[in-house]
Amino acid sequence: MDASSDLQNRVPRKRRKMQRVTMMDVAKLAQVSPSTVSLYLRKPGAVSPAAGQEIARAISTLGYVPNLVAGGLAAASSKVVSIIVPSIRNAFFAETVSTIQSELSAEGLQVILGHSEYGEDQEEALVRTALSWAPAAVVLTGLSHNAETRKLLQASGVPVVEMWEIGGKPIDMAVGFSHPQVGASAARHLLSKGRRSLAFLGARMQEDHRAAKRASGFAEETKRAAEPATCEIINHPGAATVEAGSLLLNRALRQIPNLDGIVCSNDLIALGALFECQRQGVAVPERVSLVGFGDLDFSASCIPSLTTIRPSGDLIGREVARLILASIHGERPEGTSLVVDTGHVLIERRSS
């Protein structure tokens, strides 16, 4: 035979890999069409009870596991929600992610996780891969992103929720609270206790813009006070840890002779500061008042118990999930950008 005929009647290619059980197999066993199986899986109410039972039986006898990848491709949108946080090690974000995850998994959505380590370029890369999953929604942390990230997301048409911060223009939706207001609340609290030489102890504020905003809100409220008061912002370039808190406290003690009020960028730092006060013989709250942020696990139990500001990562998570589900179900008021303020609560305990 000649070459041209060879081109025409080609041998069927070897199939690469037969996967276990497909929807087709289920359909055959249940004596219905694949479409009906698919329909049953997506909207069980739409098929007749008889067919439904037949299909359910077939699924269980065959041990059928639907292939979400194929489904995602066919539906042009996969059942994943991509969440990008600065760090999962951070208890705040862990709580929120955990809550979002719980709420979404009830609706059959998966969570894909990424952490940016507070880098905007790294965040952009994560957004890029997130979008290659054709996700049902993307969740970002904060409102600060580089231009490319915003462009990518806007162009994608995917619902986007920015969480843990409000007070700027969101890409799409936002759930969180105002960080400057948190700083201001802390300042007012200390001022109301008669404290006049204040310090804000923060970590990694070059990158953690939200912490920086709490600091500046704090500083501004101090300036605005009726009685004259001073305020210094002290930053630790490393991570916000208990140890950083100890270091920061010592720096504050050195820099501010009459220091009598301290706000920490989070409760871990506050705990470190508290321990260091104890070591240095600085009485809390007698000589200095201490206010944290986050209301972590230990904050109510430590000695003295820690006055802190609770932002409720849990509530944020629930609201994020709610907005995502509403968007997916098309219940969202078109055109308006949705912003939910979850607020914050100052919890007064013994340290102030």
**DSSP states of 203-248:** ESTTT-HHHHHHHHHHHHHHHT-SS--EEEEEEESS---HHHHHHH
Helices 313-328 and 91-105 meet at what angle, rounded to 10?
Answer: 40
Q: Tell whether residue 7 is a contact of DNA (CB under 7 A).
A: yes
Q: Which is nearer to its own copies, 144 or 299 (CB)?
A: 299
* Residue type present at position 302: C
Q: What is the CA radius of gyration of the chain?
A: 27
Residues whose CB is less than 8 angstroms from the CB of residue 293 and which lie 6 or more positions away in sequence, other chains included: 182, 186, 214, 263, 264, 265, 266, 267, 270, 308, 309, 311
Q: Tell whether residue 12 is a contact of DNA (CB under 7 A).
A: yes
The single residue among 68, 225, 338, 346 that binds its own copies, judged by CB under 8 A, is 68
At its nearest, how many Å lie between its own copies and the CB of residue 231? Answer: 26
Stretch that binds DNA, among 15-23, 194-202, 291-299, 324-332 (CB under 7 A): 15-23
At its nearest, how many Å lie between its own copies and the CB of residue 252? Answer: 16
226 by Cβ neighbours in 10 Å (0-12 / 13-18 / 19+) ranks as exposed
DSSP state of 17: -
* Residue type present at position 295: D
Q: Are strands 197-203 and 261-264 parallel, antiparallel or unpaired?
A: parallel
Q: Tell whether residue 110 is a contact of DNA (CB under 7 A).
A: no
**CA angle at 166 for the pair 337 and 135, rounded to the nearest 5°:** 55
Q: Which is nearer to its own copies, 243 or 341 (CB)?
A: 243
Q: Tell whether residue 225 is a contact of its own copies (CB under 8 A).
A: no
Q: Tell whether residue 38 is a contact of DNA (CB under 7 A).
A: yes
Residues whose CB is less than 8 angstroms from the CB of residue 244 and which lie 6 or more positions away in sequence, other chains included: 203, 236, 238, 268, 269, 272
Return the one option of its own copies, DNA, none that residue 13 interacts with (CB less than 5 to 8 A, by type): DNA
Stretch that binds its own copies, among 170-178, 194-202, 208-216, 265-273 (CB under 8 A): 265-273
Return the one option of its own copies, DNA, none that residue 11 interacts with (CB less than 5 to 8 A, by type): DNA
Q: Tell whether residue 206 is a contact of its own copies (CB under 8 A).
A: no
The single residue among 72, 119, 167, 343 that binds its own copies, judged by CB under 8 A, is 72
At its nearest, how many Å lie between its own copies and the CB of residue 249? Answer: 11
Structure tokens at 271: 């705990």
Q: Are strands 197-203 and 230-236 parallel, antiparallel or unpaired?
A: parallel
Helices 23-30 and 34-42 meet at what angle, rounded to 10?
Answer: 110
Q: Tell whether residue 18 is a contact of DNA (CB under 7 A).
A: yes
Q: Tell whether residue 76 is a contact of its own copies (CB under 8 A).
A: yes
Distance CA 187, CA 182 (A): 9
Q: Tell whether residue 107 is a contact of its own copies (CB under 8 A).
A: no
**DSSP states of 129-168:** HHHTT--SEEEEESS---HHHHHHHHHHT--EEEES--SS
Q: Tell whether residue 46 is a contact of DNA (CB under 7 A).
A: yes
**CA angle at 133 for the pair 168 and 96, rounded to the nearest 5°:** 50
At its nearest, how many Å lie between DNA and the CB of residue 19? Answer: 3
At its nearest, how many Å lie between DNA and the CB of residue 80? Answer: 14
Q: Tell whether residue 129 is a contact of DNA (CB under 7 A).
A: no
At its nearest, how many Å lie between its own copies and the CB of residue 129? Answer: 7
Stretch that binds its own copies, among 26-34, 53-61, 130-138, 230-238 (CB under 8 A): 130-138
Distance CA 199, CA 28 (A): 72
Binding site for its own copies (CB under 8 A): 16-17, 19-20, 63, 65-70, 72-73, 76, 78, 80, 87-89, 91, 94-95, 97-98, 101-102, 105, 108, 110-115, 128-129, 131-134, 152, 155-156, 241-243, 245-246, 268, 271-272, 275, 278-279, 297-298, 300-303
Binding site for DNA (CB under 7 A): 3, 6-7, 10-19, 22-24, 31-36, 38-39, 41-42, 46-48, 50-51, 66-67, 70-71, 73-76
